[in-house]
């Protein structure tokens, strides 16, 4: 049904009548994040609450933070790994580009609150050097960090759900 609510409703009616263990949400979900959230706001109440709902291909932090309160349970995306390979690092303060020269002499971890292998063992200066030298280890270390960041984010959200804050 894409963004057409009538077609999406017909699809939802048919799919929710089948004995699936959960539902995957995908296809054309709007041209931007706001349209995605508008569409989710409309159709998530139409899905059974007792079954898990998986959002396909959406994995940026803001979309996750906006979709979880609407009833989306799981996500899959190349967002954290693709960003890492291109030198973009997820931190509690937002995206950081390790490519920037300002990191060449920064002897702090990517995120001082992060417990990942990369943050415990390497500085921004070293990671900047690896990236600029096109060392494959750069992508590996940045992916380790970005995946840990996403795991921590989801853990925080699960805890907030358990406290009835979401």
Number of H helices, E strands in the chain: 7, 5
Rounded CA separation 67/58 (Å) = 10
Tokens read off for 70: 């609407």
List the 74-76 sheet strands across, edge first.
23-25, 53-56, 74-76
Rounded CA separation 75/147 (Å) = 13
Q: What is the pTM of this model?
A: 0.89
Q: In this predicted structure, what is the pLDDT of residue 108?
A: 98
Q: In this predicted structure, what is the pLDDT of residue 75?
A: 94
State how far Cα 26 lies from the chain centre: 15
Q: In this predicted structure, what is the pLDDT of residue 95?
A: 95
Q: In this predicted structure, what is the pLDDT of residue 30?
A: 82
Rounded CA separation 85/64 (Å) = 21
Q: In this predicted structure, what is the pLDDT of residue 127?
A: 99
CA proximity to 164, closest of 53, 72, 69, 49:
69
- Tens digit of each residue's pLDDT, the chain (166 residues): 777 889 989 999 999 999 999 999 988 788 889 999 999 999 899 999 899 999 999 999 999 999 999 999 999 999 999 999 999 999 999 999 999 999 999 999 999 999 999 999 999 999 999 999 999 999 999 999 999 999 999 999 999 999 999 9
Is 137 in a helix, a strand, or coil? helix
Choose the CATH number for 5-77 among 3.40.50.10420, 3.50.50.60, 3.40.50.2300, 3.30.565.10.
Answer: 3.40.50.2300
Which residue intervals of the chain bear CATH 3.40.50.2300? Answer: 5-77
Q: In this predicted structure, what is the pLDDT of residue 101?
A: 98
Tokens read off for 144: 């380790």
């Amino acid at each position: 049904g894409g963004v057409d609510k009538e077609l999406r409703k017909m699809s939802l009616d048919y799919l929710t009548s089948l004995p699936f263990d959960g539902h995957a949400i995908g296809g054309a979900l709007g041209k931007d994040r706001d349209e995605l959230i508008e569409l989710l706001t409309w159709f998530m109440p139409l899905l059974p609450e007792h079954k898990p709902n998986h959002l396909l291909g959406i994995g940026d932090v803001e979309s996750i933070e906006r979709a979880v309160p609407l009833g989306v349970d799981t996500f899959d995306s190349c967002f954290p790994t693709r960003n890492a390979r291109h030198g973009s690092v997820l931190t509690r303060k937002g995206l950081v580009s390790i490519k920037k020269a300002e990191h060449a002499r920064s002897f702090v971890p990517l995120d001082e609150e992060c417990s990942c292998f990369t943050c415990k063992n390497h500085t921004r200066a070293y990671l900047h050097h690896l990236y600029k030298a096109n060392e494959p280890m750069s992508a590996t270390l940045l992916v380790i960090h970005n995946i840990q960041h996403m795991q921590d984010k989801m853990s925080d959200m699960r805890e907030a759900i358990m406290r009835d804050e979401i």
